[in-house]
Amino acid sequence: MTITQPDLSVFETVESEVRSYCRGWPTVFDRALGSRMYDEDGHEYLDFFAGAGSLNYGHNNAVLKRALIDYLERDGVTHGLDMSTTAKRRFLETFQNLVLRPRDLPYKVMFPGPTGTNAVESALKLARKVKGRESIVSFTNAFHGMSLGSLAVTGNAFKRAGAGIPLVHGTPMPFDNYFDGTVEDFLWFERLLEDQGSGLNKPAAVIVETVQGEGGINVARTEWLRALSELCERQDMLLIVDDIQMGCGRTGAFFSFEEAGITPDIVTVSKSISGYGLPMALTLFKPELDVWEPGEHNGTFRGNNPAFVTATATLEAYWADGSAMEKQTRARGEQVEQHMIAITEENLADVKEYRGRGLVWGLEFHDKDRAGKVAGRAFELGLLIETSGPESEVVKLLPALTITPDELDEGMKTLARAVRETA
């Protein structure tokens, strides 16, 4: 694919240096549909990024777009703080009927603000309020957001350093397989909890991702998650599952923790809950934890009614028929894995490991700089992929759940070519 030099001058002169994704994809995008994006010169790109997981159902999904346009054309409420609206009522009823009740989940629903870090901040605040303790335990290589409370439970040193102040009241523990299976699960954690001389303040809660996306596609085993849930119950700590990137069907089931058969005390949801890429977040928690005073946690943009509309349409279109979406995602995941096996076999000396669940996959190389080179070459070949991990050493695949088998094959063949041509 021949790419002409786009006019990036206004971005370079006016926009902050903090911009990042655009540096890896130096073009100006103009439109998008399904799993395809197009730049202003008409070049086509297959999207294996999906808005960092915010577009599980693709770009400009026709069903969701129609619902949104109809709502706007009838002058439906756009901004509503936490006022009761018809759009919010319909979302809550649909979410309860299609997501919570079929899974026997008793959760109350809180709208903490528009983003994932808003959901995490409210979850941490609620856990501390319920338990009357300050400390929160997180895990190595975790990522939970960019605001101060979320950064305090995030592992990445580069992101933490951006806070500019000490990040306190968070304690990291080893994530699953951190010691390559040589140390018994939670041996260190539980010993610290039980030792009166350990210096570990009793935590209010533990926050965990079932698959660490930004941390390098580190997949927790179901038995590890179950053991963590049991540990939290024994030690009187709340379990918070951050399902912001891995929820909404990314790993197969609607919630990523379902496979482990656990019921977290608190769950954070964002990214693809609106279905259309509109900002929206939820904090879910067991009813007995609903100790908030009215207005104790609020925000101007927590009532994004257009997002309620597309979220409702998403649930009705993709989650009303039980397990169909889950089965499709798992089948697509098996398709990706077969390609990953072939790439690994072709590049045995270079590939360290591939790993994933559902439609989130990572490919790690022995050479930590290789992932960035692969992503760069993939862009030149018309495929959008990002990197993850503490040193950006993992190629991260996050295609839309609605991607077709042919598109998936096309993207994986392009990835294989990018790996081959960066050797």
Task: Note down pLDDT in tens along the chain; length 423 residues.
Answer: 555 678 999 999 999 999 999 999 999 999 999 999 999 999 999 999 999 999 999 999 999 999 999 999 999 999 999 999 999 999 999 999 999 999 999 999 999 999 999 999 999 999 999 999 999 999 999 999 999 999 999 999 999 999 999 999 999 999 999 999 899 999 999 999 999 999 999 999 999 999 999 999 999 999 999 999 999 999 999 999 999 999 999 999 999 999 999 999 999 999 999 999 999 999 999 999 999 999 999 999 999 999 999 999 999 999 999 799 999 999 999 999 999 999 999 999 999 999 999 999 999 999 999 999 999 999 999 999 999 999 999 999 999 999 999 999 999 999 999 999 998
Start and end residues for every CATH 3.90.1150.10 domain found in the chain: 8-61+323-421
Nearest-CA neighbor of 139 among 187, 172, 181?
A: 172
Q: How far apart are CA 193 and CA 198, in angstroms?
A: 8
Q: How far apart are CA 132 and CA 155, in angstroms?
A: 24
Q: How far apart are CA 285 and CA 190, in angstroms?
A: 25
Q: How far apart are CA 404 and CA 34, in angstroms?
A: 10
3-state secondary structure 71-98: HHHCCCCCECCCCCCHHHHHHHHHHHHH
Angle, helices 324-346 vs 405-421, to 10°: value is 20
**pLDDT score at 4:** 66
Helix, strand or coil for residue 70?
Answer: helix
Q: How far apart are CA 166 and CA 219, in angstroms?
A: 29
pTM: 0.97
Start and end residues for every CATH 3.40.640.10 domain found in the chain: 76-320
3-state secondary structure 224-270: HHHHHHHHHHHCCCEEEEECCCCCCCCCCCCCCCHHHCCCCCEEEEC
Q: How far apart are CA 15 and CA 21, in angstroms?
A: 13
Q: How far is CA 88 from CA 23, 99, 228, in A?
A: 38, 16, 34
For 76-320, the fitting CATH number among 3.30.70.1710, 3.40.640.10, 3.20.20.70, 3.40.50.300 is 3.40.640.10
**pLDDT score at 202:** 95
* Cβ pair 107, 286 in contact under 8 A: yes
Q: How many H-runs (helices) and E-runs (strands) does the chain carry? A: 14, 17
- Give how far the C-alpha of residue 178 lies from the chain's centroid of Cα atoms, to the nearest Å: 21
**pLDDT score at 96:** 98
**pLDDT score at 423:** 87
* Cβ pair 363, 394 in contact under 8 A: yes
**pLDDT score at 322:** 79
| Fold of the domain spanning 8-61+323-421 | Aspartate Aminotransferase, domain 1 (3.90.1150)
Q: How far is CA 35 from CA 95, 166, 263, 286, in A?
A: 26, 41, 33, 36
* Cβ pair 364, 27 in contact under 8 A: no
Quote the Cα angle for 150-155-156, to 5°. Answer: 100
